[in-house]
Amino acid sequence: MTPNDVCCNCGCARWKHNQYSRPVIGKRTGHCRRCGSLRCCQFRRNPKKGPTDVVAAVRAECGFYWICKRSSAGNHPNLANMWEYPGGKVEWGEHKRDALRREMMEEFRVRIRIVRELDTITSFTDGHEYRVTFFETLFTERPQLRIHSEVQWVTVKHLADYPHLPSGEEFNRRLLRGYYE
């Protein structure tokens, strides 16, 4: 199965193959993690093309913003030690708010409350186009550091002192200009 395959029963991309499955041209056996379909299912290609959707949590308290440093381990070693607003990629068929809740649970084992959508910024990183949606969030619990190597509370004026990913740099520039007030 490629990442672009989806279950034709429910349309989700959470298909898991049986260990006994034998691929037949255009067909796979196994089960869908969402609908539980256990039958042989015809797959169709994911029609989504264009930029990869990403969500990011902006946590602000008393004029300070919470940013996280990417660890050196991971899928993108050239982006290691860069600072970011935590978040991750939106899975196909998933709502952005649900993706942000899932990512925060995976990365920090914390439940969040989404206050509002702040902005969507399109940027290029490593030759890929990303459409990053930033959400103002409140943490309902104390986060546990699992994936990132460090976190900092930083004022708006000092955000530029920390090397961010391109979308984060643009968000910081807009934040400094008072774009989100």
Q: How far apart are CA 94 and CA 154, in angstroms?
A: 31
Interval 72-127: pLDDT, tens: 766 666 777 889 999 999 998 899 999 999 999 999 999 999 999 999 999 988 77
Task: For domain 52-176, give its CATH number from 3.90.79.10, 3.30.540.10, 3.10.20.340, 3.10.20.30.
Answer: 3.90.79.10
Contact (CB, 8 A) for 153 and 64? yes
- Kindly give the pairing relationship between strand 128-139 and strand 52-58: parallel
- Answer positive or negative: Cα dihedral of 168, 172, 174, 178: positive
Instruction: Report if pTM > 0.85.
Output: no
User: Domain locations in the chain?
Assistant: 5-45, 52-176
pLDDT of res. 26: 42
Q: What six digits make up the tokens of 50?
A: 């264009």
Could you tell me where the DSSP H helices lie in the chain? Answer: 96-108, 166-176
**Distance (Å, whole) CA 101 – CA 86:** 11
Lowest mean per-residue pLDDT among 23-27, 28-32, 67-71, 143-147: 23-27
The 10s digit of each residue's pLDDT in 118-166 is: 999 999 887 789 999 999 999 988 888 888 889 999 999 999 999 998 8
